[in-house]
């Protein structure tokens, strides 16, 4: 059984901590048997990520991408009608089997774009933190104004 250590990956990502933990658990449980199709996850900058999957042999019509809550589901299925029965393959090395790949996304991650080019499916992700959750600067005011205000009230009562 092969062991995978994703610790360096965990240190360098923001927003995919749960994803890498799930990957470690899945790889440990299945021995890496569910590695099709191969994929990369790249952190482009602080808030942008990209998932690239090798899906040679699949067209745009064969692929579906679904986002439900924080789960990104990529499915590929080549219809039997599309397969050419007139060809006689001597060797068939390009995998055309159906697949389902799930990615658990962190909160506030949205899918920006998906494109298929040269057998690579690229999914662009962006982390968008709501304005109410972003850090904000709190202005500090001088306490002198309030002290003067209290003195004015006291002098009016005495008069």
Q: Residue 30: pLDDT above 50? A: no
In the three-class reduction of DSSP (H, G, I as helix; E, B as strand; rest coil), residue 65 is classed as strand
pLDDT at position 2: 56
The ranges assigned to domains in the chain are: 38-154
Q: Residue 29: pLDDT above 50? A: no
> pLDDT confidence of 60, banded at 50, 70, 90?
very high
Least confident of 2-6, 45-49, 116-120: 2-6
Looking up tokens 């995919």 gives 16
Report whether 38 contacts 54 (CB < 8 A).
yes
Q: Residue 105: pLDDT above 80? A: yes
Q: What is the pTM of this model?
A: 0.61
pLDDT at position 99: 92
Other Cβ atoms closer than 10 A to 152: 9
In the three-class reduction of DSSP (H, G, I as helix; E, B as strand; rest coil), residue 156 is classed as helix
**Contacts of residue 29, Cβ cutoff 8 Å, sequence gap at least 6:** none
Residue range 38-154 forms a domain whose CATH class is mainly beta
> pLDDT confidence of 100, banded at 50, 70, 90?
very high
Least confident of 35-49, 107-121, 122-136: 122-136
Across 119-141, b (16+ Cβ under 10 Å) vs e yields eebebbbebeeeeeeeeeeeeee
């Amino acid at each position: 059984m092969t062991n995978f250590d994703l610790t360096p990956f965990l240190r360098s990502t923001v927003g995919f901590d749960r994803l890498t933990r799930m990957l470690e658990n899945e790889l440990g449980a299945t021995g890496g048997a569910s590695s099709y199709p191969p994929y990369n996850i790249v952190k482009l900058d602080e808030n942008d990520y990209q998932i690239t999957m090798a899906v040679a042999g699949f067209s745009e019509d064969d692929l579906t991408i679904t986002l439900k809550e924080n789960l990104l589901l990529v499915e590929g299925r080549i219809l039997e009608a599309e397969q050419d029965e007139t060809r006689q393959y001597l060797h068939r090395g390009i995998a055309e089997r159906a697949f389902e790949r799930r990615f658990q996304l962190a909160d506030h991650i949205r899918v920006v774009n998906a494109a298929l080019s040269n057998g690579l499916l690229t999914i662009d992700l962006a982390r968008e933190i709501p304005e109410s959750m972003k850090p904000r600067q709190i202005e500090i005011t001088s306490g002198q104004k309030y002290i003067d205000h209290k003195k004015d009230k006291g002098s009016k009562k005495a008069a």
